[in-house]
Structure formats: C-alpha cells, structure tokens
Amino acid sequence: MATAKTENSGIEHIELASLRPFSRHPYKVRDDEAMSEMVESVKQYGVLSPAIARPLPDGGYELVSGHRRKRACELAGMETMPVIVRELDDDAAAILVVDSNLQREDLLPSERAFAYKLKLEALRHQGERTDLTSRQVVGKLEAADIIGEDAGESGRQVQRYIRLTELIPPLLDMVDERRIAFNPAYELSFLTRDEQQLLLDAMDSEQATPSLSQAQRLKQFSQRGELDAAVMRAIMSEEKKEVERVTLKGDTLRKYFPASYTPKRMEETIIRLLEQWQRQQKRRREAEH
C-alpha cells in the first residue's frame, strides 16, 4: 500500500485501490453528466479538495468524504488521490459522511432518507455514551430536530423521510423516479413488506400508482388487518381525478439554459430550483409567525 505525504500539509496521496467506500454510505455515486464534468475538472486541475478517510484495523482506509471524487479519479485514469487521514469513531464518521453531502440540491429522496437515518442513529448512540462531555442527545425527537436544523427542514419532515427507508427497493426506486410522490410514499411505508410486494403486483396489473388518498386508504386497511390483493386491486382500479397540467413550450424554456442542456437536465434543473424556492417560502412563512 503506497502513500506519499505532502510536506507539512497533513495530506497524503493514497492509492485508489486502498480506499474503501464507507460501509453504510447513503449516497449513490452516479456516472452522470455531473460526474463527466468532475472528471474533466480532475484531468485539468487535479483534485482541489482532499478526501477524508480513516485508517482501518486490517490495513487500508475507509472513505468518509470524497466518494464521487474517488470515482472521478478512477475515470480520469489516476492511481492516487489526496486524502486527509483522521482517527474517527463510527458515530463521528457517520455524521461526517452525512454532512459532507447533505446540502447538495440533487439528492434523491432515498439518499436523503438513508442519510437522515444514519445520522439519527449516530446522534442517539452518542447520547447513550457516558464518555462524552459534549451536549447529549437522548431522544429520537431531539435528534431529528438537530438534523432538521442542519438541513433546513423540520424535525417532523426528517422523520417522514426516514420512514421511506421502510419501503421495499422497487417502491423506493419509484419515489426516486418521481413515479410515486413523497406523501403517498410516506403512507405506503406503513404497509408490511409482504403487502408492499402485493401492491407492486396490483400497480402493474392496473398500470397505476397510488394517489395520496389511495395510499391513505391502503394504510388504513393494513392497520385493520384487512388489506389483501383484492382490496388493493379495487383501490388501484379507481379512476383518479383529472390532474390539472401546465405545459411549457421548449422554445420558451430554451433561452434560459445553455445549448448543451438536454430536456431531461432542463427538467431536473427546474424541479431543483422550484424545490429551493419552496423551501425559502416555507422558511419565510415560519419566520413571519
């Protein structure tokens, strides 16, 4: 395992092969357009911000921050990358993993859900320890409020995101793909895993995804122990109220974007900006009250 230390900087150049991903990394490393841009930046300027890793007992290092940078280095054909090595316990490492990416605007709902869950568990575990002198976090509600404060969300919304981790992977993928909206997904998370699997079959049969009211009724039937395949098909076969649509012409939008932007990237940018605007409006309303 080869490493080279930069004089007086605390930065080591470590072989990529010696850097393992964080064992519970909640974020996906995607080979998308943003990654392509990062690869070009790495080729031209190198890695401007070192990764953070902790040494492993059996040798090598576990990445805490810098998973996307490592992937960019691999795609750029590099063999090493700059890393700051720090001694971190599991809880401190988990919190740093989450916080290093939490402000990204392109996070998927599943990424945010597992990130919040990872940080919540770390904060609660720290609160149970007796060897810490800092302020203790002892309850789920208090921990959720702290996470929300750091992320610009309410503690209640943090808990709602964490509920999404109870969804089976195919349903969670649909949430990421915006085929199932957040609020219906939250309600569906209260179904058992077997019920969720049956729901997938009903959705496929009826070629429909549940609205909020449908998801709420599915949850109610589940809590009463009355949810079966027949009930699911009956609910999913209902006609939804016609959704009011707003259509924007491509020519109208194109002038606001670089020529290289694909329609999909334009859509993602619009959604991201609207979500940012929505959060700003929410914070403004809360400040007024």
Same domain, 157 and 199: no
CB 97 within 8 A of CB 64: yes
Is the pLDDT confidence value at 43 over 90?
A: yes
Same domain, 212 and 263: no
Residue type (1 letter), 253: L
Looking up tokens 């070629």 gives: 207
Cα gap 201→222, rounded to integer Å: 16
Domain that holds residue 104: 90-165
Same domain, 8 and 84: yes
Confidence of residue 280 (pLDDT cuts 50, 70, 90): confident
Among 165, 184, 217, the domain boundary falls at 165
Residue type (1 letter), 136: Q
Is the pLDDT confidence value at 145 over 70?
A: yes
* pTM flag (> 0.85): no
Same domain, 24 and 52: yes
Is 241 inside a domain boundary?
no
Residue 272: half-sphere exposure toward Cβ, Cα within 13 Å: 12
The number of domains in the chain is 4
Averaged over 143-169, what is the pLDDT?
92
Cα gap 126→136, rounded to integer Å: 7
- Residue 137, C-beta contacts closer than 8 angstroms, at least 6 positions apart: 123, 124, 126, 127, 143, 146
Same domain, 43 and 76: yes
Is 65 inside a domain boundary?
yes
Same domain, 172 and 144: no
Cα gap 81→3, rounded to integer Å: 10
Among 119, 149, 165, the domain boundary falls at 165
Kind plus residue range of the DSSP H or E element containing 154:
none
Mean pLDDT is lowest, of 37-41, 105-109, 227-231, for 105-109
Residue 29: half-sphere exposure toward Cβ, Cα within 13 Å: 15
Which carries the bigger pLDDT value, residue 5 or residue 280? 280
